[in-house]
Chains A and B, each alone.
Chain A
């Protein structure tokens, strides 16, 4: 059975692009348009991988990422962060939140700055899903 990958992005165009990339390469794509919806689908569908946009309305990718990592059933699911935010800024914000909330959240498996090349993203997906 095809492995399921959840794409959480508020931009419909990005959801279409990434799900096409997934579907044409043998994966099953699930989509959510914000962090809140993402968490609901992640809980019910238990995907093998989550591709997460950082800046979204309602619940942001930053918050959802932290929630996923603390969730007993989802913390093992690899996450690819995909964002227009620079890698440095993202990791800095994570460190600050760690300090502020007095918790230690591990870094995501992959961080890709937008715009993402299809090959780069596909490589990352394949690597995360290697048996």
Chain B
């Protein structure tokens, strides 16, 4: 016989009055009786969370309707098969822990709903004992915390961004101060060549801080894309023009090869521009960091990918990446450039490409170079 439900029921039936007088019937007759009428089953069904009861073999004995709605029918099936769609038991499963130590437990689990979606749950488990104190079953109650986790991630991201970006801005300020000093010295000595040199330092740092600011805005704001039909060639020429001087300074040959047969495409031009900016900058910096090749080249290419997709490729013969680096580069704030990078660039690339319903392919080999391929639907 299961005791918990009965005891719970008992506590609700009567309670001593505060003046110590005779027990009176709980005011439930007026306020709470409809609950009794409703029955516990209905109350459990009303809960906006998942409730299930499992036996020692982890077979589900009971589920509420919220559970059935999101996971499908579960009674009679093994819990991890239903919650996680896996044949393996969950490590550190709270239900098994409640079976072994007869105590309630809490854990966070990632589950798969019958819609195929992944969800994060906060799972509470509590033992259900018989009158001899033996655990006969465990009740599991889980709340969906997916949204909460997402907010948490965004907050962590923002926190990190403040730290990384302040460091970066400090570097840029230093550049600006240094540049201003050189300009001053040039003016003082009437040496316009020196002043011009200083002014270039100032301008370079202004460009850097502009890029960082735009990336932060892109990374942290929910912005609405404005799609419009454009010819890719024009946009690419615009962006590449911005980098020509930089490429020349770095002695990198910058080349554009567009397929003239490519029709107009529907994209969010500021997004694609931002994305291409970041990918191009990475390619140039991969060349700068590479000390092995003498001749460095970056090629920007556009072409059909298949019937319904087009691609923008940026190929460099710079340092290339090993597998471990390739895995990590899309994480916000991962940078291979030490002081010189925030790691925000590719995070923004990812965001723009996802927003367009596209994907990224990276072909890379250490000391050979990298081809960064962005594949987008024609729409």
A62 to chain B, nearest CB (A): 14
Q: How far is the CA of A13 from the CA of B289 in the complex (A)?
A: 17
| Residues of B close to A12: CB separation below 8 A | 201
A96 within 8 A of partner (CB): no
Q: Which residues of B158-190 are within 8 A (CB) of A?
A: 170-171, 173-175, 177-179, 181-182, 185, 188-189
* Chain A 22-52: CB-based contact to B (< 8 A → 1; otherwise 0): 0010000000000000000000000000000
A11 touches B181 (CB 8 A): no
B368 within 8 A of partner (CB): no
Q: How far is the CA of A90 from the CA of B173 in the complex (A)?
A: 23
A23 to chain B, nearest CB (A): 8
User: Which of B182, B197, B198, B339 interacts with A55 by CB under 8 Å?
Assistant: B339
A13 touches B178 (CB 8 A): yes
| Residues of B close to A21: CB separation below 8 A | 181, 185
A117 to chain B, nearest CB (A): 9
Given contacts A55-B339, A57-B289, A58-B291, whether A17 and B179 have CB atoms under 8 Å apart is: yes
User: Which of A13, A58, A115 interacts with B170 by CB under 8 Å?
Assistant: A115
Q: How far is the CA of A118 from the CA of B182 in the complex (A)?
A: 10
A16 touches B174 (CB 8 A): no
Q: How far is the CA of A13 from the CA of B179 in the complex (A)?
A: 7
A20 touches B198 (CB 8 A): yes
Q: Which residues of A91-118 are within 8 A (CB) of B?
A: 114-115, 118
| Residues of B close to A17: CB separation below 8 A | 177-179, 181-182, 201
A84 within 8 A of partner (CB): yes
| Residues of A close to B339: CB separation below 8 A | 55, 84
A14 within 8 A of partner (CB): yes
| Residues of A close to B75: CB separation below 8 A | none
A16 touches B338 (CB 8 A): no
B194 within 8 A of partner (CB): yes
A115 touches B173 (CB 8 A): yes
A77 to chain B, nearest CB (A): 24
| Residues of B close to A11: CB separation below 8 A | 171, 175
- Which A residue's beta carbon lies closest to that of B176? A13
B96 within 8 A of partner (CB): no
B125 within 8 A of partner (CB): no
Q: How far is the CA of A118 from the CA of B323 in the complex (A)?
A: 44
A84 touches B181 (CB 8 A): no
Given contacts A20-B198, A24-B189, whether A13 and B181 have CB atoms under 8 Å apart is: no
B85 within 8 A of partner (CB): no
B174 touches A114 (CB 8 A): yes
B170 touches A20 (CB 8 A): no
- Which A residue's beta carbon lies closest to that of B182? A20
- Which B residue's beta carbon lies closest to that of A58? B291
| Residues of B close to A14: CB separation below 8 A | 174-175, 178
| Residues of B close to A55: CB separation below 8 A | 338-339
B205 within 8 A of partner (CB): yes
Q: How far is the CA of A18 from the CA of B173 in the complex (A)?
A: 15
| Residues of A close to B205: CB separation below 8 A | 13
Q: How far is the CA of A115 from the CA of B167 in the complex (A)?
A: 12
Q: How far is the CA of A114 from the CA of B170 in the complex (A)?
A: 9
B199 to chain A, nearest CB (A): 11
Q: Which residues of B198-238 are within 8 A (CB) of A?
A: 198, 201, 204-205
| Residues of B close to A16: CB separation below 8 A | 178-179, 182, 197-198, 201
For this complex, 24 residue pairs linking A to B, each with C-beta atoms less than 8 Å apart, are A11-B175, A12-B201, A13-B175, A13-B178, A13-B179, A13-B204, A13-B205, A14-B175, A16-B178, A16-B179, A16-B197, A16-B198, A17-B201, A20-B181, A20-B182, A20-B185, A20-B194, A21-B185, A24-B185, A55-B338, A58-B291, A84-B170, A115-B173, A115-B177
Could you list 4 further interchain pairs (A-B, Cβ under 8 angstroms) beyond the known A13-B204, A114-B174? A13-B175, A16-B179, A17-B201, A84-B339
